[in-house]
Amino acid sequence: MYQLSEDTFDQKEISSIKELIRSKKKLSYGKKVNDLEKKISKFHNRKYAIMVNSGSSANLLGISSLLFDDKFNLNIGDEVIVPALSWSTTYTPLIQLGLKLVFVDVNLDTLNIDTKSIEKYISKKTKAIFAVNILGLSCNYDQINQISKKYNLFIFEDNCESFGAIYKNKLTGSFGIFSTLSSYYSHHLCTIEGGFLLTDNFRLYCNALALRSHGWLREQPSNSHLNKYNYNNFEKLFKFVLPGFNLRPTELNAALGLVQLNKIKNFIKNRRDNAHKTYKIFSNNPNLKMQKYDQNSSFFAFSLILQNKLINKRETVINFMKKNKIENRPIVSGNILNNPMMRYAKIRKKGKYPNVCFIDQNGIMIGNRSRALNKKEIKILKKLNDFLLEFK
């Protein structure tokens, strides 16, 4: 009755896939991927975009493109500031590549990294801040940019949940040495599986092109620094210059993305309209705290943090939701430090992280969608609010 997510496909997407298959042209990545990359980079006012098979892979690709190049001075054992709330694959590339995670608590109002606390976590080994825009809401980039300039740090931007969000007239996805996007099934732009790495740095772009496809040389621009090797055209096809991956998307993913991108402005408008209605429903409920409302958010989903009479009553609330067919889940990952995968990580932390711990114990997430909420869904949300408001 009230779903976490739903597909946004119509006959246009179906026709684009049929046409591609009937054409009997190459289905592994090619012209459509290139076309979508150009449109995504233009949309975000970025010089370069590389499509990959997920936003998770985009994070891996961005960090690897820096780590495997001495010019960037990012090395195994260096530290990266991270928020204690994000999806797992913000962190796993850092773990896999031997970097140390330095955890900062989140702001309970925004759910984003507590920018006022970042400086006290910086050491001589700190090289970057991983800014994650949670559930459609932008981080405070004025403060993050100020800190990065003061300490000469990279900014990595994970924008996988916040396609189309705006910070002071600038789209998220356009901050940092690289930014990442996701076009997974449940996200603003859907290619079923997919993601993008965005950057304005040509050297990083060249590294990423190679790393996306096995580490080979064949796709490099003529003025790439990786063309320093004296190989003829035949040799270039199968020379591997970086320790690469296979993170490639398909033409099928890109065909969907090209149709979806024509709809994205309407999708985001609907999400903002839905948010206006949803926040109005829950606005006077003292037992509930939601993520700070910002008209420039792209509202990936809605966070419900239980407070006052509902503290530590989440199981009761979930049972009510289940009975009334309201799909729900934890807010992103909850406290990522509580996940067993962290035993593989190099970590530096201070204190007890009270905000993310509270979210972990009392947070619930419900979905938003790219179409307008219907009367039945509005009625369900009002019923949920009544239950939370009257809880004894």
Active site (catalytic) residues: 187
Running DSSP on this structure, what letter comes out for residue 16?
A: H
- Report the C-alpha gap between 212 and 57 in whole angstroms: 9
Q: What angle do CA 251, 179, 124 make, to 5 degrees?
A: 145
Contact 217, 229 (CB under 8 A): yes
Closest listed residue to residue 197, CA positions, set 237, 247, 150, 245 = 247
Give Cβ neighbours of residue 18 (< 8 Å, ≥ 6 apart). none
> Hey, how many other C-beta atoms are within 10 angstroms of the C-beta on 283?
11
Tokens of 229: 């090797």
> Hey, how many other C-beta atoms are within 10 angstroms of the C-beta on 238?
11
Contact 134, 114 (CB under 8 A): no
Contact 108, 116 (CB under 8 A): no
